[in-house]
């Protein structure tokens, strides 16, 4: 295996080849044969590994050098499925450990035992668990949302609501490693994605017409071998302004989005939630969600 060396420049063709192969085997990441690469691989630094015999790309690391909301650098490491179990993952992870700033984290999507083994050899421990929950729409009972007096729901208006929504998001997720850093420009960039649907982006307004909460839904295109090869809905983000919490607004927004996804004919819905967020887990369990997968961050 030969390493390219860390670079601020990304070899899009080689990275896309690795990501597409991983998607075919793992069902992730969400990447298409053309168009922009997933936003989580933008910026930062990049490391490519090639086969020493023919230079074919066999592995890739993206290091977010700006860091998450807590200032920790975060790495994504992907080994081409055809070149796994040959020590490439360990070698790339060792490169991350030697290069990244103190306190770094590395994602292991799907909590694969191979990743746990590599982490153990490098002295990295489980630092964070991000749970993927799943609900079967046919088995769910999602009633009409109930809003407290003075609060109304409407849908997102592109070009109008970005700043207000992001302000609520920042207050609602000031504790979150990624979500709290969302910017209005990033929202505008998502609006250009094929999956964006303003009709599935719900905003809660108070009696003054100010946004106090939101539920942004998403629909994933079918991926062979994942979720039965069907499209799947997602509770993408639910955020409530801290000053508006305590009156059931989060549940009402969640129900509005879930009912919208069900009305679109989707048979499955997923969501991501922190493994230590007991109150949210309790709410989602009552709504019919069960654990499906776990993504893990390893760190020192």
Per-residue pLDDT of 164-206, as tens digits, reads: 999 999 999 999 988 988 999 999 999 998 899 999 999 999 9
* Spatial separation of the C-alpha atoms in residues 277 and 254, rounded to whole Å: 16
User: Binding site for acetyl-CoA: which residues?
Assistant: 77-79, 238-240, 245-251
CA–CA dist 204, 225 (Å, integer): 37
Q: For residues 193 and 92, give the distance between their C-alpha atoms in angstroms, rounded to a whole number.
A: 31
189 close to 37: Cβ distance less than 8 angstroms: no
Q: For 2-123, CATH number?
A: 3.40.630.30
Question: For residue 88, what pLDDT is reported?
Answer: 96
Q: Indicate the average pLDDT of the chain.
A: 95
Percent of the chain beyond pLDDT 70?
A: 100
Average pLDDT value for residue range 140-151: 94
**What phi and psi values does residue 239 have, to the nearest 5 degrees?**
-135, 135
Please state the pTM of the whole predicted model: 0.90
pLDDT band at 220; cut points 50, 70, 90: very high
Please tell me the distance from the alpha carbon of residue 73 to that of residue 96, in angstroms, as a whole number: 10
DSSP at 243: G
Q: What is the C-alpha separation between 110 and 116, in angstroms, rounded?
A: 11
- From CA 157, how far away is CA 130, in angstroms rounded? 30
Note the pLDDT of residue 17: 97
Please, are residues 61 and 117 in contact by the beta-carbon 8 Å criterion? Answer: no
- Across the range 213-223, mean pLDDT stands at 95
Q: Which pLDDT does position 99 carry in this prediction? A: 98
Mean pLDDT confidence for 111-132: 96
> Nearest 5°: CA angle at 237, between 232 and 242?
155
Which amino acids are annotated as binding site, given as ranges? 77-79, 178, 218, 234, 238-240, 245-251, 272
Specify which residues 294 forms β-bridges with: 131
- Cα angle: 238, vertex 278, 112; to 5 degrees: 90
pLDDT digits (tens, 9 = 90+) for 224-280: 888 989 999 999 999 999 998 888 999 999 999 999 999 999 999 999 999 999 989
pLDDT for 53 beyond 80: no
Domain with CATH 3.40.630.30 in the chain: 2-123, 133-294
**What residues have CB less than 8 Å from 83, skipping those under 6 apart?**
51, 58, 59
CB 250 within 8 A of CB 240: yes
Task: Give, in degrees to the nearest 5, the angle at Cα 215 between 213 and 220.
Answer: 160
Rg (CA), the chain: 20
Structure token digits, residue 156:
């997102």
Token pair 């793992």 is found at 26
Task: Say if residue 11's pLDDT is above 90.
Answer: yes
Question: What are 75's two structure tokens?
Answer: 């790495």
Q: Which two tokens stand for residue 293?
A: 């997968």
Architecture per CATH, 133-294: 3-Layer(aba) Sandwich (3.40)
End-to-end C-alpha distance for the chain, whole angstroms: 26
3-state secondary structure of 8: coil
**What is the average pLDDT across 139-158?**
95
């Amino acid at each position: 295996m030969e390493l390219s060396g860390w670079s601020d420049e990304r070899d899009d063709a080689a990275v896309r080849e690795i990501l597409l192969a991983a998607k075919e085997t793992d069902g992730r990441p969400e990447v298409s044969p053309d168009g922009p690469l997933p936003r989580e691989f933008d910026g930062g630094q990049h490391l490519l590994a090639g086969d020493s015999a023919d230079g074919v790309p066999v592995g890739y690391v993206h290091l977010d050098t700006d860091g998450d909301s807590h200032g920790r650098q975060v790495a994504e490491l992907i080994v081409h499925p055809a070149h796994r179990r040959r020590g490439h993952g360990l070698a790339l992870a060792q490169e991350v450990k030697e290069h990244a700033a103190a306190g770094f984290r590395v994602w292991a999507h799907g909590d694969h035992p191979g990743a746990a083994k590599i982490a153990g050899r490098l002295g990295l421990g489980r630092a964070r668990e991000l749970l993927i929950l799943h609900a079967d729409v046919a088995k769910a009972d999602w009633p009409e949302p109930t809003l407290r007096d003075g609060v109304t729901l409407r849908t997102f208006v592109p070009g109008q609501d970005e700043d207000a929504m992001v302000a609520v998001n920042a207050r609602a997720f000031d504790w979150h490693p990624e979500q709290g850093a969302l910017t209005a420009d990033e929202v505008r960039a998502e609006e250009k994605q094929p999956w964006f649907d303003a009709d599935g982006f719900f905003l809660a307004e108070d009696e003054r017409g100010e946004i106090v909460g939101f539920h942004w839904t998403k629909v994933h295109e079918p991926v062979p071998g994942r979720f039965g090869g069907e499209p799947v809905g997602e509770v993408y983000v639910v955020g409530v302004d801290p000053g508006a919490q305590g009156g059931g607004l989060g549940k009402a927004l969640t129900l509005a989005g879930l009912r919208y996804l069900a009305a679109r004919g989707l048979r499955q819905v997923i969501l991501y939630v922190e493994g230590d967020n007991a109150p949210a887990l309790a709410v989602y369990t009552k709504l019919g969600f069960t654990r499906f997968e776990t993504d893990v961050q390893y760190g020192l």
